[in-house]
Chains A and B, each alone.
Chain A
Amino acid sequence: GAVVSQHPSRVICKSGTSVKIECRSLDFQATTMFWYRQFPKQSLMLMATSNEGSKATYEQGVEKDKFLINHASLTLSTLTVTSAHPEDSSFYICSVIRDRNTGELFFGEGSRLTVL
């Protein structure tokens, strides 16, 4: 069964507005979650690492003030795209590691953001 759930699966917003995407781990507690982004016909790229109870760690080139991450509980991380612009339109996917020994990353179904 599914390990990770994301909501919403699709969202369309106007330029300048903010959008929140939720990521939930379904059957275990995740102290760390990972947010990836995939532009059309491109690879997945890690944006940031979400840490429960502390600040997120952002990859080089990702604006932390634009992509706000909140990991308030062991089963929920949220990504807020602030003041969205058309170039932020992308497929945002969260992931978790269920077994640290194997390091296997399980992904959510993704959230398609379209900014008009």
Chain B
Amino acid sequence: EDQVTQSPEALRLQEGESSSLNCSYTVSGLRGLFWYRQDPGKGPEFLFTLYSAGEEKEKERLKATLTKKESFLHITAPKPEDSATYLCAVQRGTSYGKLTFGQGTILTVHP
């Protein structure tokens, strides 16, 4: 069965203090690994999709990387508006539209 484990569960940073979130996964036939941002009471907002080990993608202060066993979401010089829950999810090659999500990392950035 597919499994996604995210760490840490919660992360508190000072504004400007860079850090990384981890997503470890086990999936048979990875089709894609997804990162989402979720604000309280809202649906997940798409950030990145990574398809193969070694791939990297960037968007503003965020950079996602992928290996065969895990993915990292690097946050450079975060701002308070980056505070949110960050979700990682995997999709199998045969499971169209079905994502297995991790529990998420709650990120709080203090000014």
- Check if A67 is an interface residue, CB within 8 A of chain B: no
Q: Which of A12-20, A38-46, A68-76, A77-85 contacts B (4 or more CB under 8 A)?
A: A38-46
Which of B49, B97, B103 counts the most A-chain CB atoms under 10 A from its CB? B97
A93 adjacent to B31 (CB under 8 Å)? no
Q: Is the interface of A mostly helix, strand, loop or mixed?
A: strand
Q: Which of B4, B32, B42, B98 is the one whose CB lies under 8 Å from A109?
A: B42
Asked if A103 meets B49 with Cβ closer than 8 Å, knowing A44-B87, A93-B44, A109-B43, the reply is yes
Which residues from 3 to 62 on chain A have a C-beta closer than 8 Å to any C-beta of chain B?
Answer: 4, 6, 32, 34, 42-46, 49
A4 / chain B contacts, CB cutoff of 8 Å = 43
List residues of A whose CB falls within 8 A of some B CB: 4, 6, 32, 34, 42-46, 49, 93, 95, 97, 100, 102-110, 112
List residues of B whose CB falls within 8 A of some A CB: 4, 31-32, 34, 36, 41-46, 49, 87, 89, 91, 96-99, 101-104
